[in-house]
Amino acid sequence: MSDQRIAVLGGGNMGRALIGGLLRSGTRPERVSVGETSEAARLALARELGVTATADNARAIENAALVVLAVKPYQAQAVLTALAPLLQLSRPLVVSVAAGARLASLEAWCGAGVPVVRAMPNRPALVGAGATALYAPPGVGPELRAAAERLARALGEVVWVPQEDHLDLVTALSGSGPAYFFLLAELMAEAGTGLGLDAATARRLATATLYGSGLMAATADADLAGLREAVTSKGGTTAAALAVFAGADFKGTVERALAAAARRSRELGAPAAGHS
């Protein structure tokens, strides 16, 4: 599939992130075509990334072995049903990043015989440091799975989940997860300011701490509890802070927060699409 064309439908935030990642990892711009309704976005894509962008999605998917659906979830049905006859003729692999759009709906909109894989990326994909979970139904074979995985790698880290409803759990963890870390950094900066640091200094310290800790945690063999223990000496400052977290049931709070997000993801995804 390495010389075949890739079509991206929707050249917004996620579409652009994906194209940028593909180009950085060696895909030639001539191999990528974009279907995008906004003229301003099309011009920017051509100018900044050197890819062909058209308002005509049917043209965008011509000769494409891989079609990425990167429009908003509520637009997915209209985009795919309009292309269904063409998709059924050429049968490219369709990879959907539309949050909450269920496989059964996507397959029905594409029509018989079109292989579909769902991808759930997260916001840091916009800076090439995303976490994407993929789900493919049993009918999608190893070659197509490998193609979907190569594509998702353009956004950062990739994992596979064994069943579609795990994507609701992924949404709760890595999909909404960036907000949890931003909140923690925000609260740490505010608390630092409350203790007497100036606001700009507190903010820089909070965000640099988030970034550096993220780098340490992201190494493949990182032992998260071990990393935490390494900064926690008995009777020290970190232990004093962690005792306050434990007293406020931080663990239970995180568990309940993720459960609420997973529940909401299920609600929003039933029966078709609805959120990002």
User: Which of 9, 136 has the CB closer to ligand NAP?
Assistant: 9
Distance CA 145, CA 141 (A): 6
Determine the length of the chain: 276
Distance CA 187, CA 87 (A): 48
Distance CA 88, CA 95 (A): 15
Cis peptide before 271 (omega within 30 of 0): yes
User: Which of 99, 144 has the CB closer to ligand NAP?
Assistant: 99
Residue at token pair 């190494």: 219
Burial class (CB in 10 A: 0-12, 13-18, 19+), 38: middle
Paired sense of beta strands 130-135 and 116-120, if any: antiparallel
- Contact flag: residue 37 with ligand NAP (CB under 6 A): yes
- Contact flag: residue 99 with ligand NAP (CB under 6 A): yes
Exactly one of 29, 72, 103, 166 binds ligand NAP (CB under 6 A); that residue is 72
- Contact flag: residue 14 with ligand NAP (CB under 6 A): yes
Task: Give how many residues touch ligand NAP by CB under 6 A.
Answer: 26
Reduced to 3 states (helix: H, G, I; strand: E, B; else coil), residue 131 is: strand
Distance CA 130, CA 218 (A): 12
Using the contact rule CB under 6 A, the part of the chain among 12-20, 133-141, 159-167, 231-239 near ligand NAP is 12-20
Smallest CA-to-CA distance from 164 within 74, 65, 261, 96 is with: 96
Q: What is the identity of the amino acid at 210?
A: L
Using the contact rule CB under 6 A, the part of the chain among 92-100, 156-164, 191-199, 256-264 near ligand NAP is 92-100
Smallest CA-to-CA distance from 32 within 23, 41, 43 is with: 23
Exactly one of 45, 61, 95, 98 binds ligand NAP (CB under 6 A); that residue is 98
Token output for 22: 């593909």
Site for ligand NAP in 117-176 (CB under 6 A): 121-123
User: Which of 59, 256 has the CB closer to ligand NAP?
Assistant: 59
Using the contact rule CB under 6 A, the part of the chain among 93-101, 161-169, 222-230, 251-259 near ligand NAP is 93-101
CB of 57 to ligand NAP, least distance (A): 5
User: Which of 12, 111 has the CB closer to ligand NAP?
Assistant: 12
- Contact flag: residue 86 with ligand NAP (CB under 6 A): no
Exactly one of 18, 64, 87, 97 binds ligand NAP (CB under 6 A); that residue is 97
User: Which of 115, 121 has the CB closer to ligand NAP?
Assistant: 121
CA angle 21, 23, 29 (to 5 degrees): 140
Q: Draw the binding track, 184-223, toward ligand NAP (x: CB under 6 A; -: no contact).
A: ----------------------------------------
Contact residues: ligand NAP, CB under 6 A: 9-15, 35-38, 41, 57, 70-73, 75, 79, 97-99, 121-123, 276
